[in-house]
Amino acid sequence: MTTATTLKGQPLDKVTLESLLRRRMFYTPSFEIYGGVSGLYDYGPPGCALQANIVDAWRKHFILEEDMLEVDCTVLTPHEVLKTSGHVDKFADWMCKDPKNGEIFRADHFVEDVLETRLRGDKEARGLKIEEKEVDAKKKRKKTKGQEAIKLDDAVVQEYEEILAQIDNYNGEQLGELIIKHDLKNAATGLTPTPPVAFNLMFSTTIGPSSNLPGYLRPETAQGQFLNFAKLLEFNAGGMPFASASIGKSYRNEISPRAGLLRVREFLMAEIEHFVDPEGHKKHERFHEVEDIELVLLDRHTQLSGKTSVKKESIGKAVKEGTVDNETLGYFLARIHLFLKKIGVDQSKIRFRQHMANEMAHYATDCWDAELLTSTGWVECVGCADRSAYDLTVHAKKTGAPLVVRERLEVPKVTEEWEVDIEKKKFGPFYKKDGKTVEAAVLALSQEQREKLAKEMQENGKIVIDVPGVADGKVEISKDLLDIEKRKRTENIREYTPNVIEPSFGIGRILYSLIEHNYWVREGDDEARGVLSFPPSIAPTKVLIVPLSSNKEFEPFIRKLSQKLRVAGVSSRLDASNASIGKRYSRNDELGTPFGITIDFQTVKDGTVTLRERDSTRQVRAEQGKIISAIQSLVDGGKTWQDIEFELPIFQGQELEVR
């Protein structure tokens, strides 16, 4: 258990980091001049570019790499669809209220807060140092309020810790019982909150002018993909397995969002729905490519036993041992890991945590979250759920649409069965008003009964069967009215409802975690300065152009250089302010720009420029064409800075200030 650290292992000062993010407009509370609305944030230019680059990397890593079918479905969703999917009834959190001041709590957060406060009070009473715990993002409210140095029994401490380890596993009733049993009170009023009630997290609205079509803002992009399943399958020429994918906003009306970008009411999601044949234990043909990749796993059993210890093992082993249920689920866990690594997530700050039974969404049969460690604890950033055939089945049942795969069998399936043929022309007139009832009784006969009755028919020319409600409950049927025969049937088509493996990414949470993981502080001569060491491919802007001074001679060089960079597909910004070059570079390190180009008087003479690398602050000097192609290969990952230092002359000149 350690406090949060920067990329370089320094203690992370969250206040300083947040001041940097605000100052550089990575993001900002929405409607701030109107007082803001909790859970809503706007991205400023660097945040917006960072988000776009993460999405772009995601599209390449998943959609392009695996030929997924991208769709863009509407956010507005009519009531009936989300009623069928189960969201209207089950997509809720437990809410309770202070009876006096009306304060509203999420019940699980309330229990956590009070228990954690008591545990800290206990530590204080025992004279122990209170360390920042590795807690969940959700568990960070009102640390101090109501905290008193009261020693608890050892058994009580253990009980509290076990409750906290499985806090996500309690339903509303159980949370209510915990509140009563442990006498949990709101510190502000000293009162017990009301029993938890379910609060549906969907935003509702009305579609059309006549107020008769209620709808919601989608809580996930998945439903649109499921509803289009039949069309997507056709677009894919019937081929299975395949995946659809979607990148778009989703909405959840959080009860009390207070964790910055980590718990918001409107957020960008990137979701994959991978449709797979449930027969054959969901093998994946590319599983061998990832089976040696090692993941840090926290399984369901460990948590239920009140612990949070992890094990690191290859995904191949985890699937083999049954920790992870099947290859397809395992394949995507590994692919998620590779994606997070690629965009610059700290490898020592990832774990995969399995959901406990009560914690899972109503549609899931298994679910693993990729969690990233931040200053507010472990944060769920990617969910990877096995939704089985749940969604396709409920929508097909509701609408009658065939959301199935029809597959030609290579080896036709031959079945042999006793069949009954009713001689309709005679049967009806013979039994008159009882005809339908007798027919139903005949059709309901089991295979065993049919076999027995066929023999009887052959021997007697007639049979007697039970038909409750007709005559005395026994009906005689003669040979000319009914034929019973054993027949072979050959099936060439197999019909099945695919299962769905769903990797679902919260882009905003990934973005925020990425910022923390790449943040560090460079100690300078005058003052310490923040640096955001994003990988070049993800950095909001790739190049800062810095003219030595505002000398007019530099202007044509600036114009040409930014033009050339644009053509090369490299985003750049100009800082032609009066600040010293050192100051301008420092300012820019805060924006995470990996490279800087200085234009100076030497440039005017021979066209060469210097290229500075953000993390090492080392520089090389060469003519512009070489510098630009060096930047291109640094951004696309073809070369490292070490390669460039080897290829181009090192520049030792000081960062001079000449006006």
Residues 247-286 binding a copy of itself (CB under 8 A) are: 249, 251, 253, 255-256, 265-266
Gap between the Cα atoms of 325 and 367, Å rounded: 10
The window from 39-47, 330-338, 491-499, 615-623 that contacts a copy of itself (CB under 8 A) reads: 39-47
Closest CA relative to residue 651, chosen from 609, 593, 603 = 609
> What is 478-529 written as a DSSP string?
ETTTEEEEEEEEEEEEEEEPPEEEEEEEEHHHHHHHHHHHHEEEE--SS--E
**Considering beta carbons, is residue 377 or 540 the nearer one to a copy of itself?**
540
Is residue 217 at the binding interface for a copy of itself, with CB under 8 A as the rule? yes
Cα–Cα distance list, 223 to 217, 367, 432 (Å): 12, 18, 50
Contact indicator for 141, 328 with CB cutoff of 8 Å = no
Least CB distance to a copy of itself at residue 358 (A): 22
Region for residue 441 given its phi and psi (left: phi exceeds 0; alpha: psi -120 to 50; beta: otherwise): alpha
For 20, the 3-state DSSP assignment is helix
Closest CB to a copy of itself among residues 2, 204: 204
Nearest to a copy of itself of 238, 412 (CB atom): 238
String of contacts with a copy of itself for each residue 403-442, x by CB under 8 A: x---------------------------------------
Task: Provide, rounded to whole angstroms, the least separation between the CB of residue 70 and a copy of itself.
Answer: 5
Say whether residue 293 binds a copy of itself (CB under 8 A). no
- Considering only 15, 127, 153, 208, the residue that binds a copy of itself (CB under 8 A) is 208
Nearest approach, Cβ of 258 to a copy of itself (angstroms)?
12
Among 88, 227, 364, 544, indicate the residue that binds a copy of itself (CB under 8 A): 227
Identify residues 185-204 at the interface with a copy of itself (CB under 8 A): 199, 203-204
Binding mask 384-403 for a copy of itself (x = CB under 8 A): -----------x--xx-x-x
Q: Which of the stretches 24-32, 297-305, 315-323, 516-524 binds a copy of itself when contact is defined by CB under 8 A?
A: 24-32
Q: Cβ closer to a copy of itself: 224 or 594? A: 224
Q: How many residues bind a copy of itself (CB under 8 A)?
A: 77
Residues in 156-175 at the binding interface with a copy of itself, rule: CB under 8 A? none
Cβ distance to a copy of itself smaller for residue 44 or 306 = 44
Give all strands of the β-sheet with 608-613 in edge-to-edge order: 572-574, 543-547, 595-599, 608-613, 619-623
Closest contact distance (angstroms) between CB of 46 and a copy of itself is 9
114 lines the binding site for a copy of itself (CB under 8 A): no
CA distance 652 to 659: 20
Which residue from 78, 607, 625, 649 is in contact with a copy of itself, where contact means CB under 8 A?
78
Q: Which is nearer to a copy of itself, 577 or 616 (CB)?
A: 577
Positions 603 through 642 that interact with a copy of itself (CB under 8 A): none
CA distances from 453 to 302, 426, 485 (A): 58, 20, 10
Residue among 6, 17, 20, 43 that touches a copy of itself (CB under 8 A): 43
| Least distance to a copy of itself, CB of residue 255, Å | 5
The interface with a copy of itself within residues 446-475 (CB under 8 A) comprises none
d(CA 500, CA 329): 10
User: What is the DSSP code string of 118-144?
Assistant: HHHHHHHHTT---PPP--BTT--S-SS
**Of 67 and 183, which has the nearer Cβ to a copy of itself?**
67
Q: How far is the CB of 141 from a copy of itself (least distance, A)?
A: 16
Is residue 400 left, alpha or beta, with left meaning phi > 0 and alpha meaning psi from -120 to 50? left
CB of 189 to a copy of itself, least distance (A): 17
28 binds a copy of itself (CB under 8 A): yes
Which pair of tokens denotes residue 1? 């258990």
From the list 136-144, 230-238, 530-538, 624-632, the region that binds a copy of itself by CB under 8 A is 230-238
Buried b (16+ CB within 10 A) or exposed e, 448-479: ebbeebbeebeeeeebebebeebeeeebebee
> What is the nearest approach in angstroms of a copy of itself to the Cβ of residue 152?
32
Q: Does 235 contact a copy of itself by CB under 8 A?
A: yes
- Smallest distance from a copy of itself to CB 658, Å: 21
Does 326 sit near a copy of itself (CB under 8 A)? Answer: no
CA distances from 61 to 54, 135, 227, 332, 334 (A): 10, 31, 25, 12, 12
Q: Is the peptide bond prior to 241 cis by the omega test (within 30 degrees of 0)? A: yes
Shortest distance (Å) from residue 239 CB to a copy of itself: 10
Query: By CB under 8 A, which span of 108-116, 415-423, 510-518, 566-574 interacts with a copy of itself?
Result: 566-574
We find the least distance from the C-beta atom of residue 624 to a copy of itself, in angstroms, to be 19
Q: What is the largest CA-CA distance in the chain?
A: 118
Nearer to a copy of itself, 401 or 440 (CB): 401
Q: Which residues pair with 93 in a beta bridge?
A: 199
Q: Residue 206 pairs with which residues in a beta bridge?
A: 214
Least distance between a copy of itself and beta carbon 156 (Å): 32
Among positions 45-74, residues that touch a copy of itself (CB under 8 A) are 45, 47-49, 51-52, 64-65, 67, 69-74
Tell whether residue 555 is a contact of a copy of itself (CB under 8 A): no
CB nearer a copy of itself, residue 266 or residue 380:
266
Q: Does 558 bind a copy of itself (CB under 8 A)?
A: no
| 594 lines the binding site for a copy of itself (CB under 8 A) | no
By CB under 8 A, tell whether 206 contacts a copy of itself. yes
Instruction: DSSP letter for 61, please.
Output: I
The one-character DSSP state at 5 is B
Tokens of 380: 């769920």
Q: Report the nearest approach of a copy of itself to the CB of residue 100 (Å).
A: 15
CA atoms within 13 A on the CB side of 616: 13
What are the CA-CA distances from residue 166 to residues 81, 162, 307, 354, 499 (Å)?
32, 7, 9, 12, 28
Burial class (CB in 10 A: 0-12, 13-18, 19+), 3: exposed
Return the number of the residue (299 or 589) whose C-beta is nearest a copy of itself: 589
* Look-up of token digits 């049919």: 450
Cα–Cα distance for residue pair 491/230, rounded to 1 Å = 22
Residue (of 387, 424, 112, 15) closest to 229 by Cα position = 387
Q: Give min distance, CB of 285 to a copy of itself, in A.
A: 13
H or E element: which one contains 18?
helix 14-23
Q: Which stretch binds a copy of itself (CB under 8 A): 208-216, 319-327, 377-385, 468-476?
A: 208-216
The DSSP letter of residue 59 is I
Among 37, 165, 558, 604, binds a copy of itself (CB under 8 A): 37
Nearer to a copy of itself, 6 or 53 (CB): 53
> By CB under 8 A, is residue 207 in contact with a copy of itself?
yes
